[in-house]
Amino acid sequence: MIMFLPIESLTKLPYKQPPADWKTELSGIEVVPSVAGRAPPPGHCFCKIMAGTMNDQLRQWSYDNKTWCIPFNVIMVEITFGGSNAPICHGSGFGSTTLSDLVEEVRYVDAHGELQTVNDPDELRAASGSFGLLRVVVSLTLRLDAICVAELVPVHIPLPLAIPPPKGYTVPKQVAAMIEKAKITEAQFEKARDDFIQRCEEDYYLEWFWFPYQESAWVNTWKNACSISVESRVSD
């Protein structure tokens, strides 16, 4: 992800959480036992999420209940689920699909003002990520995972080592200057390449953050440690 705002401005932008009791007819989260006669597979649940529910509200709901969570998501916290699902947003990892692949049911208001429901698996291939062409979506029922612990150790390292160039690749002069300034050796590059490949192949989720004009980047990738109980980790 590339951010064009200076870090000094980004960290000072005002943001205020909505009140805890804030609710509209298009916000809300509810676990449902089944969808069209289909029960959730083991280790999963079906969760009806109103289209106006924000990402941060589901995150807080998952944290409070410590039972179910969305397996991957976009990083924006203020975006609504109607807004992130319609354009087929996705996670970041070789094993991640798209948010629309988690949809078990869509409810929407058609051009005649009638409430319609789509839960047939074949029809969902078109309806779950419709780019707004399905009219006004009011709710989505998603397949959530059992919550588990993410084992992550974010690191802040020189940009050329965060995403190391392939051997023999001609880097831009700006990157060459970073390499010279940081005195990065070929041995360090070899280790960084191995680390990059290992993260991509083995980690569940992958994030690299770089801010323009900065010589370092944040590397934030992690594995799921589902054998560790969330309750014990939170209490620790």
pLDDT per residue as tens, the chain (236 positions): 456 777 777 777 776 666 767 677 888 999 999 999 999 999 999 999 999 998 889 999 999 999 999 998 887 878 889 988 888 888 787 778 889 999 999 999 999 999 999 999 999 998 998 888 888 999 999 999 999 888 888 999 999 999 999 998 999 999 999 999 999 999 999 999 999 999 999 998 899 999 888 899 999 998 887 754 444 444 44
Euclidean distance between CA atoms 105 and 69, whole angstroms: 17
The CATH 3.30.465.10 domain(s) of the chain lie at 15-146
Mode of pairing for the β-strands spanning 68-69 and 136-146: antiparallel
Euclidean distance between CA atoms 172 and 177, whole angstroms: 9
Domain at 15-146, CATH class: alpha beta
Residue carrying the six token digits 């980690």: 203
82-123 pLDDT per residue, tens:
988 888 888 787 778 889 999 999 999 999 999 999 999 999
Instruction: Give which of 52, 10, 75, 38 is closest to 206, Cα–Cα.
Output: 75
Q: Which helix (H) or strand (E) holds 167?
A: none
- Strand, helix or coil at 92? coil
pLDDT of residue 20: 66
Euclidean distance between CA atoms 133 and 105, whole angstroms: 16
Neighbouring C-beta atoms of residue 53, cutoff 10 Å? 22
- Strand, helix or coil at 89? coil
Instruction: Provide the token pair at 130.
Output: 């419709």
